[in-house]
């Protein structure tokens, strides 16, 4: 069985969430669940209940891709009474038992379902997640479903490492391709504003309402001295707070902190970092609550041919491009539309009130293409499309723009 298919796997939840789930499930001895840690894909933890106490064990991955179980701090500190030890036969210290390597998390779970060893008790009662529970949850990527996530992983796995069997890529080696997918997951999200300055960030936050928890992430030119890759701009109590997001030598991300004595959380991707600080205000003035949407056409504008994927997509985009050129030739003033393309508060894609403003009829597309084929092909080659808003024009939208 794959870990994603295991009913006791709850995905990316905090230890507090895990304790609440076990509490609501009865606090029975041996009740447990598996969760993924927020910091890095492929890093897991076991939350186990014993005598109404919670114990959290890390499942750490070694350089050889094997995994081991690391002990719970609560287990080291807690001294069991003699009655508890005699009646249960457990309560042993994690320091005295030898670490065992396992090929993957499921093999480790299967072992500790039968043997306590480094645990306070065996994993005897799985805490099952509800049916249709979305265990791939990124608050900052609201449209990401388990199916879409697995499809992205499959695409990443299919295009590289031909020497590794596809079955291994999607099971024991899957964490490798998960991390690759997560590295770029932020690029199409509206809270990511590409390379803008601090002053422009404050203007966009001001236009978006300047409420507590309003935030955006902007890209910075890489400085080898400071290793700053991004900046987080956040509103709190009518003031703006800017935090440097550093790239670490091991290719992780962390919010720079002046407190050198405390441990700094490191994350494998921007999406994981934003998702963590939505739940925890540690190091920040407050939690991240409201994404400040970037203006239309600000980033991710690419040549339209790079978006072509299949015949229908080709004709669809050609239809939009031809229609745009036709509108330009007729000097149609499309900028007078009620939608303000420069507004930083455009609706998120999961907004139920956000409906499409164009209609494409495949059956009638051929005649449209035929009548528009008199346009200069060089104009089409120089046209660009923003896949978020279908804004047509040159780079950064400095030419006439139109939307449909």
Domain extent listing, the chain: 3-126, 146-183, 198-269+278-291, 301-397
The fold of the 198-269+278-291 domain, in CATH, is SHC Adaptor Protein (3.30.505)
Give me the pLDDT at residue 393, please.
Answer: 38
Q: Which CATH homologous superfamily contains domain 3-126?
A: SH2 domain (3.30.505.10)
Do domains 3-126 and 198-269+278-291 share one topology? The answer is: yes
CB neighbour class for 319 (10 Å; exposed up to 12, middle 13-18, buried from 19): buried
pLDDT exceeds cutoff 70 at 16: yes
Select the more confidently predicted residue: 374 or 259: 259
All residues at 6 or more sequence positions from 249 whose CB lies less than 8 Å from its CB, including other chains: none
Name 123's Cβ contacts closer than 8 Å, sequence gap at least 6.
Answer: 30, 32, 46, 48, 109, 112, 113
pLDDT of residue 74: 56
Question: What is the pLDDT at residue 35?
Answer: 94
Residue 49, both tokens: 């209940």
The yes-or-no verdict on residue 151 having pLDDT over 50 is yes
pLDDT number for residue 250: 84
For residue 321, what pLDDT band results from cuts at 50, 70 and 90?
low
Partner residues linked to 138 by β-bridges: none
Question: Quick one: tokens of 117?
Answer: 């060893």
* pTM over 0.85, yes/no: no
Task: Check: CB of residue 178 under 8 Å from CB of residue 41.
Answer: yes
The predicted model gives 251-279 an average pLDDT of 84
Residue, of 231 and 386, whose pLDDT is higher = 231
Over residues 376-398, the mean pLDDT reads 40
Mean pLDDT (the chain, rounded): 74
pLDDT tops 80 at residue 130: yes
Does residue 54 contact residue 19 with C-beta atoms inside 8 Å? yes
Give the integer Cα–Cα distance in Å for 175 and 104. Answer: 11
pLDDT at 351: 45
Top pLDDT among 94 and 73 is at 73
Q: How far apart are CA 246 and CA 233, in angstroms?
A: 14
Mean pLDDT of all residues in 337-353: 40
Q: Taking residues 6-29, what's their average pLDDT?
A: 92
- Please give the pLDDT value at position 242: 95
């Amino acid at each position: 069985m794959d870990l994603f298919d295991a009913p006791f796997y709850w995905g990316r939840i905090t230890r507090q969430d895990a304790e609440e789930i076990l509490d609501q499930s009865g606090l029975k001895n041996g009740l447990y669940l598996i969760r993924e840690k927020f910091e890095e894909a492929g890093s897991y933890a076991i939350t186990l209940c014993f005598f109404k106490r919670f114990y959290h064990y890390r499942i750490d991955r070694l350089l050889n891709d094997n995994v081991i179980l690391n002990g719970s701090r609560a287990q080291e500190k807690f001294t069991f009474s003699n009655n508890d030890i005699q009646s249960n036969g457990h309560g042993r210290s994690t320091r005295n038992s030898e670490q065992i390597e396992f090929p993957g998390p499921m093999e480790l779970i299967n072992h500790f379902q039968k043997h306590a060893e480094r645990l306070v008790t065996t994993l005897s009662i799985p805490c099952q997640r509800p049916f249709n529970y979305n265990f791939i949850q990124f608050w900052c990527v609201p449209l990401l479903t388990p199916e879409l996530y697995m499809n992205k992983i499959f695409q990443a796995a299919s295009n590289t490492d031909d020497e590794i069997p596809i079955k291994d890529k999607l099971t024991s080696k899957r964490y490798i391709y998960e991390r690759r997918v997560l590295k770029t997951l932020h690029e199409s999200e509206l809270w990511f504003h590409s390379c803008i300055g601090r002053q422009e960030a404050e203007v966009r936050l001001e236009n978006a309402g300047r409420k507590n928890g309003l935030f955006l992430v902007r890209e910075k030119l890489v400085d080898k001295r400071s290793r700053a890759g991004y900046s987080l701009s956040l509103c709190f109590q009518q003031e703006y707070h800017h935090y440097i997001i550093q790239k670490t030598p091991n290719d992780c991300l962390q919010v720079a902190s002046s407190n050198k004595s405390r441990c700094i959380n490191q994350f494998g991707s921007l999406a994981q970092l934003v998702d963590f600080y939505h739940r925890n205000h540690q190091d920040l003035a407050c939690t991240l609550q409201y994404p400040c949407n970037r203006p239309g056409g600000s980033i991710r504008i690419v040549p339209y041919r790079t978006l072509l994927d299949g015949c229908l997509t080709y004709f669809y985009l050609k239809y939009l491009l031809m229609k745009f050129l036709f509108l330009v030739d007729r000097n149609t003033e499309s900028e007078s539309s009620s939608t303000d393309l420069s507004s930083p508060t455009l609706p998120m894609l999961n907004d139920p009130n956000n409906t499409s403003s164009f209609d494409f009829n495949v059956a009638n597309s051929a005649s449209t293409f035929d009548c528009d084929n008199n346009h200069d092909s060089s104009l089409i080659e120089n046209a660009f499309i923003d896949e978020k808003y279908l804004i047509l024009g040159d780079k950064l939208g400095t030419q006439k723009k139109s939307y449909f």
